[in-house]
Amino acid sequence: MKTKLQLLTLLAIMATGQLMAQKLFTLEELNFGGKNAAQFYPERWKLRWEGDKLVDADKKPASVIDCKTGNVVEGETVDLDANKRNRHEGELEYCKASGAVAFLRDNNLYVATADGTEHQLSADGSREIVYGQSVHRDEFGIYKGTFWSPDGQQLAFYRMDQSMVADYPQVNTFEREATLAPDKYPMAGMTSHKVTVGIFSLQGARSQEPGAGCIYLDLGDPTDRYFTNIAWDHTTLDAYDTTTGRKTKTLREESSDKYVEPLHPITFLPWDDSKFIYRSRKDGYRHLYLMDTDGKELGQLTSGKWEVKELVGFCPATKSAIIITKEAGDLQRNIYRLDLKTKKRTLLDNGRGCHSAQLSADGRYLIDTWQEPTVPRACAVTDTKTGKQSLVRTAKDPWDGWYQPIFEQGTVLAADGQTTLYWRMVKPMDFDPNRKYPTVVYVYGGPHAHNVEASWHWGSRSWETYMAQKGYILFILDNRGSEDRGREFEQATFRHLGQEEMKDQMQGVAYLKTLPYVDADRLGVHGWSFGGFMTTSLMTTYPDAFKVGVAGGPVIDWKWYEVMYGERYMDTPQQNPEGYEQTSCINKAKNLKGKLQIIIGMNDPTCVPQHSLQFLNACAEAGTQPDFFVYPGEGHNMAGHKSVHLHERITQYFEDYLKPLSNP
């Protein structure tokens, strides 16, 4: 008879053998900046639309695919290089309809027509007067600054005057003597830039004088206003005459006692340019509404306690819209055909996982690409009218034969006692419920983001696998304030960022403490950006809960964060002094007990170094001892191979201070 010690030894040998049978990852395989990372991503297929033709670009020349059967059309190929054009130096946006291109030269905006004729739209462009680029620091869902009309005859563009915005003194240390490399950075409660909208008409450009053919919309005083898809508590949809720039009418207004976020432009029906779809959360969830150009509301197209994620496009033949929604499950994204007359929705995918869609020009077919928790990637071609699929492909597991952790998903109640929150857990492959494991909470927690979804491995980041391989459990929870759960869920954090979020994260910690295999004395926390703010806040608000933390690029005090984000969620420091005081980590530096490492890019233009430096100063004054690491020349995230170095450093900090020399 084997003794208990012999049995335990045998089990240990078996577990070791299981690990040895699986190849172990390094960060060169798991991190996006790693030398071998590309081969461990799920396979992608180069399927694309050339008008209404489905093309397989994996082949040279590209094959044409029959959408009904999924078979290659014999004898029909497409030369994808035939219509390639040379990009214009400084190019911003090409218009296929007219062949014209908008571009920058010496900070000024130009348009070149198909025949090569150039039109200069501005003459005062500079670092302080910016043309044709995204404005408001990319915070409001628009990432460009030029917008062609459908016929390509007119170009709308942004002009941003940031001369009144203070320079933030970033420093370039790669010179023999360090030099200033300032950013225009308007902080919450301080002076912001002024944006106006110009319209250039190809037909109106009758001379070659700079600015010929341009008019500017009469928007009124641009001070403290955002002429894009955002307003704090009030938004209007206005129509303008593009020949005079004058406002013709206000089509609709929407207000809130917190904030309004119209992050998406209106979309006109391709078969009726007098009607358009707009998106609103006025019923509590982001849904689609139909309106005409006279400002008449024509009805709500979707409704329910779920959000519309995307309006993909239209199928004119069936008078329907193709949309992606969350209605099949909070963790899913699924494709539907929406009949605009009956408002009936028809599911066009398998009803599981997270889907994306590319629509053919006529809207009759779409390429459906998706993941499920156990499906690395799959795709199919779907008939939007009948729902029939062809060309179904499923990627092989790129991790086959390599270390495979255990991925789990579950729920806890939020601190309000009634809202369901979703979590993901990553356990070591040789998980033993009789052991106690050091556990790291990975957190983001801010608006317009989420961590847990029904994609491959429940949306797990590959660093979590690296940590599981080293003997940790990883726990990830989406708190109130994160995206896709409706207006009330997101706005619970208004004017006191981090506070409700921390309460929810501590609900997750309470759940972890009920698990016999989680070592409650060895809890760590890590996050970046808003997650860095959450990490620092948790370490100093609940100093006895976490032994080790790593905070990357953290916000420390919202008064030092950019105006467009900070004022939306916090109001100004003048309007909300209590909220800014409550959320500041400066005031909590004295509470730090555990080991906390702060890591930043020294030239971070998003969360400026002042945050972390002032926290270090507060800790020095209070006698607490954080650690600090900085990447010279890097921004808000570490690019390229430095990301491998970063994640090795994060890992090593937990190895040094969270994991003991032996595991009971």
- Provide the annotated active-site residues: 529, 604, 636
Place of tokens 């062609």: 148
Alpha-carbon distance of 632 to 628, in angstroms, equals 13
Amino acid of residue 402: W
CA separation, residue 326 to residues 261, 281, 373 (Å): 19, 14, 16
Instruction: Render 420-447 in DSSP notation, one character per residue.
Output: EEEEEEEE-TT--TTS-EEEEEE----T
Alpha-carbon distance of 498 to 585, in angstroms, equals 10
List the one residue out of 199, 188, 122 whose CA is nearest residue 161.
Answer: 122
Counting beta carbons within 10 angstroms of the beta carbon of residue 578, is it exposed (0 to 12), middle (13 to 18) or buried (19 or more)?
exposed
Dihedral pair phi/psi, residue 612, rounded to 5°: -70, -40
CA separation, residue 1 to residues 11, 14, 432 (Å): 16, 19, 24
Euclidean distance between the first and the last CA atom of the chain, given in angstroms as a whole number: 25
CB 560 within 8 A of CB 612: no
Angle between helices 462-469 and 642-657 (to 10 degrees): 40
Amino acid of residue 459: G
Alpha-carbon distance of 353 to 238, in angstroms, equals 38
In Å, how far from its chain's centre is CA 239?
30
List the one residue out of 401, 398, 404 whose CA is nearest residue 376.
Answer: 398
Q: Report the run of H or E that residue 580 belongs to, with start and end.
A: helix 577-583
Dihedral pair phi/psi, residue 131, rounded to 5°: -115, 145
Alpha-carbon distance of 202 to 58, in angstroms, equals 39
Alpha-carbon distance of 430 to 428, in angstroms, equals 5
Alpha-carbon distance of 546 to 537, in angstroms, equals 11
Angle between helices 499-513 and 530-541 (to 10 degrees): 70
Q: Are strands 595-601 and 627-631 parallel, antiparallel or unpaired?
A: parallel
3-state percent helix, strand, coil for the chain, nearest multiple of 5: 20, 35, 45
Amino acid of residue 643: S
List the one residue out of 380, 350, 344, 345 whose CA is nearest residue 365.
Answer: 380
Place of tokens 């009956």: 342
Alpha-carbon distance of 248 to 238, in angstroms, equals 8
Place of tokens 């970046």: 528
